[in-house]
Amino acid sequence: MSEKLPKDFLWGFATGKSSIRVKYEAFCQERPKFRPTASYQIEGSANEGGRGPSIWDTFTRVEGKIRDGSTGDVATDSYRLWKEDIALLKSYGVKSYRISLSWSRIIPLGGRHDPVNPEGIQFYRDFIKELLVNDIVPFLTLYHWDLPQALHDRYLGWLNKEEIIKDYVRYAQVCFESFGDLVKHWLTHNEPWCVAVLGYGTGVFAPGRCSDRARSAEGDSSREPWIVAHHLILAHAYTVKLYREQFAASQGGEIGITLNTNWYLPYDDKAENIAAAKRAVQVYLGWYAEPIYKGDYPSVLKDMIGDRLPHFTDEEKAVIRDSSDFFGLNTYTTHLTLEGGDNEWNGKVKTTHTKPDGTQLGTQSAAPWLQTYGPGLHHLLNYIWKTYKKPIYITENGFAVQNEDKMSIETAIQDKDRLEYYRDYTQALLDASREGVDIKGYFGWSLLDNFEWADGYTIRFGVTYVDYKTQKRYPKESSKFLVQWFKEHVEA
């Protein structure tokens, strides 16, 4: 096998990352992760350019929902500084940039009968054109958690099957018509697991629904996450159907979805813990991957959830089956897994990073759920390739250094732990490729430090430091490592 990745391998960074870093141990014994930057995480200018409010604009204004009381009103000010950001990407020599569109900047009220905002369309067209002028391939995500608030007010958003699927497909159609001549790589959803579980199960993400009445006046954590997930899958599938039937041939693009998962290792060699690790992957990842690539929910999930799990009709199964041209993967860490636990969303397992001998699996990050363990990525890539037989884009992968938000700029840019993380994970990527796993691209999370959802600005994932007071950008050592690594390991 080649010692290098193929010439057409896409590498770069994500902006508008999905992050799931917030405390909800009462519901779940592990915490989700953050990914490439979402529009709400970087754009700012929340009330400019014709943009309408999203559920995150509303959620961040509820006292106690965001760790530091912040919002995405300014974020990294990328709505104004986008040319500077693209110049930064150019200086890094990246081949591609994964960005997320703001639904409420394109259709402020969100609905299929609501007016399209020409300013929003023009902003993204200008952005995409500037990427192309600089030989950077755009990788566009349609939905990165920021549902237009008007749709939640109108019919409870993702809980309403009849309305949300039609509105989402229409929104996607507007994007294909507006940007499809420039864009060849599309993602429908970023991490639908986070939308369903964190938004409607634990209530720590917008719109903040859950069964805990101390946290939310409305919601049912035992049922709503399964309903929302079902509708997200259908919205994805019908959007892909539309793209394939009306746009793919003329525009020459590909379309898929990006799913998030950890790798799960057995805590020890006990049979019950080996079974638990297997079940965790089947539930956490299989909840979405099995319908999308094989046509229905995994049997282990059906058995666990029973009649609370919605059913696909035969017609819907035909639409959802094989509804992604590739496997988009967001992954950050590995968990040691034990039998037990009552969290249905991760397969009723317990997880830890502490090994039986008391040592840690890897280097601890600023997020409790994230430690370094490069071999886990190697195992996960092999598992996905063997199970789903689709080319893989690693659409998010990254690390948050402990206490980086409290460091001076001079100290923060010397991000040794992040650099070591990327060293381990790029090696795992290369090892899997050598073994025949078809990996098409890699996007580090993230280009910039940014608004990390419920954690606000208290955690930094960027390979570029952002001084939020001045909005100046400072490359970290990890960015230099990645630039050099891909220069050496992608065929010229």
Distance CA 407, CA 413 (A): 9
The CA distances from residue 484 to 34, 96, 97, 412, 426, in Å, are 24, 16, 17, 20, 12
The residue to which tokens 């409607």 are assigned:
200
Pairing status of strand 392-396 against strand 439-444:
parallel
Pairing status of strand 185-190 against strand 137-143:
parallel
Distance CA 299, CA 294 (A): 12
Tell me phi and psi for residue 54, to 5 degrees. Answer: -110, 175
Side chain identity, residue 11:
W
The CA distances from residue 458 to 131, 280, 372, in Å, are 30, 29, 20
Distance CA 486, CA 96 (A): 12
Query: Count of alpha carbons within 13 Å of 475, Cβ hemisphere only?
Result: 14
Distance CA 225, CA 344 (A): 11
The residue to which tokens 């229409």 are assigned:
170
Of 312, 330, 138, 302, nearest to 237 by C-alpha is 312
Distance CA 492, CA 489 (A): 9
Distance CA 277, CA 254 (A): 33
Distance CA 403, CA 250 (A): 49
The CA distances from residue 377 to 157, 254, 331, 397, 422, in Å, are 34, 25, 8, 10, 11
**Angle in degrees, CA 120, 126, 130, rounded to 5:** 150
The CA distances from residue 289 to 34, 51, 167, 324, in Å, are 19, 33, 23, 10
Active site residue 254: no
Residue pair 256/325 in contact by the 8 Å Cβ criterion: yes
Residue pair 186/130 in contact by the 8 Å Cβ criterion: no
- Sorted by sequence, the CB contacts under 8 Å of residue 257 that are 6+ apart come out as 187, 188, 189, 192, 236, 288, 292, 323, 324, 328
Annotated catalytic residue within 396, 420, 435, 491:
396
Residues with catalytic function: 396
